[in-house]
Structure 1
Amino acid sequence: MTDTLTEITRADVCVAAVADCFRGDGEIIGSPMGTIPTIGARVARATFEPDLVLSNGESLFFEGTHRLGAKPDEFAAVGWIPYRQVLDVLASGRRHVMMGPVQIDKHGNANISAIGDWAKPKRQVLGSRGGPGNTINHTTSYWIPKHSSRVLTAKVDMVSCVGYDRAAEVGAAGRFHEVRRVVTNLAVLDFVSVDGAPAVMRLASVHPGVTVDEVVANTGFELVVPADVPETRLPTEEELRLIREVVDPRGMRLREVPA
């Protein structure tokens, strides 16, 4: 261990946890949305998941690893995927998207559309857009920069993204459905089926310096809490180098999760 590892920030830990969401995916399209998800996906491909296919967030696939905000002439584009082709790939299950919900419940039903009554919401957000198709057709993970009971809530105001209870109702149409993980600024959560019922959210690990009680107190529903909850792993020295020197030298991740 070097002195560098003693200076690891919570944001660095979150990036490594996001990267681990893509572990084992192989040659599929990774679609991270947001700063820390984008950093995590690029770190994953640069280290343990080299076959992961990443785009610039629009229509170009790229090779190598480059910084956030790079212009097209700063990276090597190796492919083009028009929107109509995205839909074909989506339906095949060969995609893993990471989104940021404004609300999510214990089964992984998520809201990215509106807060309050959908007919007259108190606050309009992004809109469901591709959420229903994404979540029923391929793997989905979520990134939540501020873990609170307002976000991890007993009931979402609108179901924009399909959770395990609703996916169970559609039979074979939901064969590619998987809500893999939820990474927050406090913890990593996954899903487990209890007594054959639709899967519910479980506390998989707590970040260094966070307690189980802190996570439970900031969650608006009952989590499955194992008897022994591990600590989220620290990024390796190589991952730290990629995070700090290659992908995010300007420290954009610290705006989402302050040190």
Structure 2
Amino acid sequence: MTDIRRTETDVRLTEVSRSEYCVIACAEAWRGAGEILASPMGPIPSVGARLARLTFAPDLLLTDGEAMIVRPDGTPEGWLPYRQHLALVSGGRRHVMMGASQIDRYGNQNISCVGDWARPKRQLLGVRGAPINTLNNPTSYWIPRHSRRVFVEKVDMVCGVGYDRVAEHPGTARFHRIPRVVSDLGVFDFATPDRSMRLASLHPGVTVERVREATGFELAIPDEVESTREPTPEELRLIREVIDPGDLRRREVAT
């Protein structure tokens, strides 16, 4: 006879939200990173970086975005003057997780404008620090709404540098690496012979067909696609009770 009883752990795991899978996927970007500076941009990447620090990446450095190294609860634990911040950036000792208004199959990223750069239809943030980020330290991307407007065949303007452009000028990108792209549908990497984007894992409830429909270029898709890993009960407790009790993560991914 089948035992239909479920433990508290079982119940909690079946109730994991999409936003929490996204947190886990972002946190995994810093697994094994060692003593480097994590620069997450956005609520879900920030929760992910703090979760990584509290669990499997204890040497990770977190910043308040101003001049301090902070603990996961935000209390200061060191001073990070701007000159030292730039030294970490230029020496490959930081891993930033940025956003992208557009991203293409080789990881070129655009946050500057939509349309012809000389006469754009939409003006966005501007290039900002994307070139130096991508050429000088590992850069991952977080995209809360996966669509063909974001995952495009060719970006309208290159801000963050992708693998195809680095291949043309290899001497300019000693520390260039794009470990992963995380969206509300899954996780993507560039583990292909031509360094084009590959579907690495699907968040539970998402199908390969849905990802294909929401992507404006042909993805490399393995014969068997993994599922984004489940959070442990302790990780769920930290996310919900310690790091993000106000549920800010749902402002980016509501489900």
Paired position in structure 1 for 2:177: 178
Amino acid at match of 2:87: D
Paired position in structure 2 for 1:70: none
Shift of 1:176: 0.7
Paired position in structure 2 for 1:93: 92
**Rounded Cα–Cα distance in structure 2 between residues aligned with 1:87 and 1:140:** 15
SS at match of 2:23: helix
Alignment of 1:138-149 (within 5 A): 138-149=137-148
Q: Is the contact between residue 148 and residue 214 of structure 2 (CA under 8 Å) also seen in structure 1? A: yes
**Rounded Cα–Cα distance in structure 2 between residues aligned with 1:172 and 1:28:** 23
**Rounded Cα–Cα distance in structure 2 between residues aligned with 1:93 and 1:172:** 15
Q: Is the contact between residue 168 and residue 174 of structure 1 (CA under 8 Å) also seen in structure 2? A: no
1:100-146 deviations in Å (ceiling 9; x for gaps):
00000000000011111111211111111110000011100000000
Is 1:105 aligned to residue 111 of structure 2? Answer: no
Shift of 1:82: 2.3
Q: What is the TM-score when the length of structure 1 is the normalising length? A: 0.93
Paired position in structure 1 for 2:22: 14
Paired position in structure 2 for 1:252: 248
**Rounded Cα–Cα distance in structure 2 between residues aligned with 1:32 and 1:174:** 21
1:35-77 deviations in Å (ceiling 9; x for gaps):
10000000001000000000112221012x22xxxxxxxx431
Paired position in structure 2 for 1:119: 118
Q: Is the contact between residue 192 and residue 198 of structure 2 (CA under 8 Å) also seen in structure 1? A: no
Q: Is the contact between residue 206 and residue 230 of structure 1 (CA under 8 Å) also seen in structure 2? A: yes
**Rounded Cα–Cα distance in structure 2 between residues aligned with 1:115 and 1:32:** 24
Paired position in structure 2 for 1:192: 191
**Rounded Cα–Cα distance in structure 2 between residues aligned with 1:100 and 1:93:** 19
Shift of 1:172: 2.8
**Rounded Cα–Cα distance in structure 2 between residues aligned with 1:154 and 1:84:** 37
Q: Is the contact between residue 186 and residue 206 of structure 1 (CA under 8 Å) also seen in structure 2? A: yes
Alignment of 1:28-107 (within 5 A): 28-63=36-71, 65-66=72-73, 75-107=74-106
Paired position in structure 1 for 2:233: 237
**Rounded Cα–Cα distance in structure 1 between residues aligned with 2:115 and 2:171:** 32
Aligned-pair RMSD on alpha carbons? 1.0
SS at match of 1:54: strand
**Rounded Cα–Cα distance in structure 2 between residues aligned with 1:242 and 1:57:** 22
Q: Is the contact between residue 139 and residue 180 of structure 1 (CA under 8 Å) also seen in structure 2? A: yes
- Identity within the alignment, %: 57
Amino acid at match of 1:42: R
Amino acid at match of 1:134: N
1:183-207 deviations in Å (ceiling 9; x for gaps):
000010000232xx3x100000111
Shift of 1:4: 1.4
1:5-41 deviations in Å (ceiling 9; x for gaps):
1211000000000000111111000000011000000
Q: What is the TM-score when the length of structure 2 is the normalising length? A: 0.94
Amino acid at match of 2:62: L
Structure 1, unaligned runs of 5 or more = 67-74
**Rounded Cα–Cα distance in structure 2 between residues aligned with 1:172 and 1:26:** 26
Is 1:227 aligned to residue 226 of structure 2? Answer: no
Q: Is the contact between residue 189 and residue 199 of structure 2 (CA under 8 Å) also seen in structure 1? A: yes
SS at match of 1:192: coil
1:79-107 deviations in Å (ceiling 9; x for gaps):
22222222211111111000000000000
1:207-249 deviations in Å (ceiling 9; x for gaps):
1000001101110001000000011111111111111001110
SS at match of 2:169: helix
Amino acid at match of 2:165: R
Alignment of 1:142-161 (within 5 A): 142-161=141-160
SS at match of 1:253: helix
